Amino acid sequence: MQQSSRDLHQIAVGRRCAPLVRRRVLRSPRRHEFTVTLSTSLLQQTIAQCLASLAEDDVYGALALLNARTKHRYTGLYRFDPPLLRCVSMVDRENRQVRVGNDAPIEDTYCAFVRDFRSEFATADASADERPEVIAFRARSPFQAYCGFPLLVDGECVGSLCHFDTRPRLVPTEELQVLAAVAPLFTRHVR
């Protein structure tokens, strides 16, 4: 019997949680919806590796683990500190010496959608994405691909965990599942 994404997330994290995906937000511009394909054991292994890094306060190490799983150039952990989005830690696969990115006005980032929706937000190719919020935003951002998940504390979005790139990048279903499962683990590191 195939388990739902909610069941996989609950098994992996070990607690009751909100649904993994809101399809309205994660449809690609071509309207393909994803299906659950990541095995529970692989998800648990990734979570365990992130937990091990985070237990040693190695946020960069946990982000590097996540970044290695994708083709995205950047993986970052950000804190909302209105009016700014503060970079806690970031991996740049083309420049490993960079460990913290620049802060930016929240409204100039895709993370603003994560905050506003209090939900995951993704675009594989902003230049082809026809959602009104992306069309209005894309001229302000150099980034073409983004996949971010909220870090919630008592219903308040305090930050985001995201992959992003200046080139279009597909986000495999498995990576959506991984980010959804590990995002809550990063929450204490943005406070």
pLDDT band, residue 41 (cuts 50/70/90): confident
Q: Is 140 exposed, middle or buried, given 0-12, 13-18 or 19+ CB atoms closer than 10 A?
A: exposed
pLDDT at 16 > cutoff 50? no
pLDDT band, residue 191 (cuts 50/70/90): confident
pLDDT band, residue 36 (cuts 50/70/90): very low
Q: Which CATH architecture has domain 5-26+36-189?
A: 2-Layer Sandwich (3.30)
Q: Which amino acid is residue 55, in one-letter code? A: A
pLDDT at 54 > cutoff 90? yes
Question: What Rg value do the Cα atoms of the chain yield, rounded?
Answer: 15
The DSSP bridge partners found for residue 149 are: 161
Name the CA dihedral angle for 107, 153, 164, 171, rounded to a multiple of 10 degrees: -130
Residue 39: the pLDDT is: 64
DSSP label at 147? E
Reduced to 3 states (helix: H, G, I; strand: E, B; else coil), residue 53 is: helix
Per the CB < 8 A criterion, the answer to whether 161 and 179 are in contact is yes
User: For the chain, how far is it from start to end, CA to CA, in angstroms?
Assistant: 40
Portion of the chain with pLDDT greater than 70, in percent: 80
* Cis status, amide bond into 83, omega within 30 of 0: yes
* Predicted confidence (pLDDT) per residue in 163-184, tens digit: 999 999 998 888 899 999 999 9
pLDDT at 44 > cutoff 80? yes
